[in-house]
């Protein structure tokens, strides 16, 4: 099993050895029981601050993404599927809680993402109590200056996630996000359910096709 660690929201990464033996491990909640890289997330310098809308933001003096970061989202995130790896909760003080969020909250469900275009997002997830996993298609709007992804509906702009970083390691692309915790049947974080930092690895074309095959239930037909 490959073991990887990165330090903050930038593309600076480092390999770790015995530290990983002491760190919390997270397992994917998709259908594929394969060994995946273990990512150890450390908070950005200074942790997070909570903005006026109640959304955590990195507290390192950065208010906007650089042109390079914006291009990475456009070129390396959009058009691809993203498989969930792990999640850390952000507490009310803006610090990461180093425990397995989904293990501690068995009714919550993580999501896997696919961005067919800059205006579309598909979430693949389990619904608590459902017999099969499913998907939900959304119309989104991306604020590239901030890295925010919002639900694009008339007279509403609902925060879904924020891209903290997009980086490549050993030929593989990863993203880290700030996103809502606790998923409803639509695969979207419920209001007031809190926030966390999650890590995703980019799917291969074959993996994306497998998700599209295995996650058959259209949640719009249920909710």
- Write out pLDDT tens, residues 158-214: 888 999 999 998 899 999 999 887 644 444 544 446 888 889 999 999 999 999 999
Element (H, E) at 20: helix 19-22
DSSP 168: E
Return the closest-CA partner of residue 163 out of 58, 79, 83, 60: 58
Average pLDDT value for the chain: 74
- Across the chain, how many H-helices and E-strands are there? 4, 15
- pLDDT confidence of residue 200: 94
Which H helix or E strand runs over 119? none
Q: Find residue 139's DSSP bridge partners.
A: 120
CB neighbours (10 Å) of residue 151? 16
* pLDDT mean over 102-111: 70
Over the stretch 54-79, which tens digit does the pLDDT of each residue have?
888 877 766 688 899 999 999 999 99
CA distance 31 to 75: 28
What's the gap between Cα 59 and its chain centre?
19
Q: How far are the Cα atoms of 39, 107, 111 from residue 44, in angstroms, in the given order?
A: 15, 29, 23
Residues linked to residue 89 through DSSP beta bridges, in sequence order: 97, 196
* Residue found under tokens 């914006």: 70
Sign, Cα dihedral of 38, 44, 46, 47 = negative
Q: What is the fold, at CATH topology level, of the domain defined by 3-221?
A: Lipocalin (2.40.128)
Task: Output helix, strand, coil percentages for the chain, rounded to the nearest 5.
Answer: 15, 40, 45
Question: Is residue 89 a contact partner of residue 194, using CB atoms and an 8 Å limit?
Answer: yes
User: What is the domain partition of the chain in residue ranges?
Assistant: 3-221
Nearest 5°: phi and psi at 194? 90, 175
Res 50 pLDDT > 90: no
Q: Is 7 exposed, middle or buried (0-12, 13-18, 19+ CB in 10 A)?
A: middle
């Amino acid at each position: 099993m490959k073991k990887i660690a990165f330090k903050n929201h930038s593309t600076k990464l480092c390999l770790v050895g015995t530290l990983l033996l002491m760190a919390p491990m997270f397992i994917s909640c998709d259908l594929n029981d394969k060994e995946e890289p273990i990512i150890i997330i450390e908070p950005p310098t200074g942790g997070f601050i909570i903005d006026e809308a109640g959304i955590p933001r990195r507290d390192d003096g950065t208010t906007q993404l650089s042109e390079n970061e914006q291009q990475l989202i456009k070129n390396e995130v959009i058009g691809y599927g993203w498989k969930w790896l792990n999640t850390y909760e952000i507490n009310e003080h803006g610090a990461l809680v180093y425990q397995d969020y989904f293990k501690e909250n068995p009714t919550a469900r993580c999501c896997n993402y696919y961005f067919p275009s800059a205006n579309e997002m598909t979430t693949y997830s389990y619904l608590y109590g459902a017999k099969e996993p499913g998907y939900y298609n959304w119309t989104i709007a991306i604020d590239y200056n901030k890295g925010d992804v919002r639900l694009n509906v008339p007279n509403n702009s609902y925060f879904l996630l924020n891209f903290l970083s997009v980086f490549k390691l050993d030929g593989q692309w990863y993203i880290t996000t700030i996103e809502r915790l606790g998923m409803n049947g639509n695969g979207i974080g419920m209001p007031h359910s809190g926030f966390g930092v999650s890590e995703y690895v980019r799917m291969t074309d074959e993996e994306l096709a497998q998700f599209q095959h295995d996650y058959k239930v259209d949640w719009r037909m249920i909710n």
